[in-house]
Structure 1
Amino acid sequence: MKIERLALHETMDAHEILNFKTVCLLRSKLMQGICFDNELKALMEKDVQQSIKDINELLDFYQENPFIQ
């Protein structure tokens, strides 16, 4: 049985997306602390929740797919 692995550029793309989503999460979470507009806070909280969902999905992807070592 042949084990399929992601190519190096696919591994790098997945890593870059994970890093980007992590930065988005941190930025939205930090900005909530200095924001006074409740509607904007709610929008940022929605972004935080979506980012957490996306990061967990990417982490599942990492665990399910072998990468080039």
Structure 2
Amino acid sequence: MTKYLGLHETIDVHEILTFKHLSLTKTTTMSKLVQDPALKGILEEDSTACSNHIQQLQKFITNREETL
């Protein structure tokens, strides 16, 4: 049995993906400007997490079907 993502689900994933890209851009930009080492570490962790989330979300968009 093959299960497909619906159009509305694909659009929702795309919206989340767009938000994550914006978040990653802002985090990366701000981490270059910040001077506090603790805050810089937090921003770098967030950047890594955002990158992982983006990769996972891209899999949902490119692999629209799931075989059960």
TM-score for both structures, normalised by structure 2:
0.84
Which protein has the bigger strand share?
2
Deviations 1:4-62 (A, max 9, x none): 43222111100000001100100000001110111000000000000000001111122
Q: Secondary structure at the match of 1:14?
A: helix
Distance 1:61 1:12 in 2: 11
Unpaired runs of at least 5, structure 2: none
Greater than 3 Å deviation, 4+ residue runs: none
Identity of aligned residues (%): 34
Q: Secondary structure at the match of 2:11?
A: helix
- C-alpha RMSD of the superposition: 1.3
TM-score for both structures, normalised by structure 1:
0.83
Give the counterpart letter for 1:62 in structure 2: I
Unpaired runs of at least 5, structure 1: none
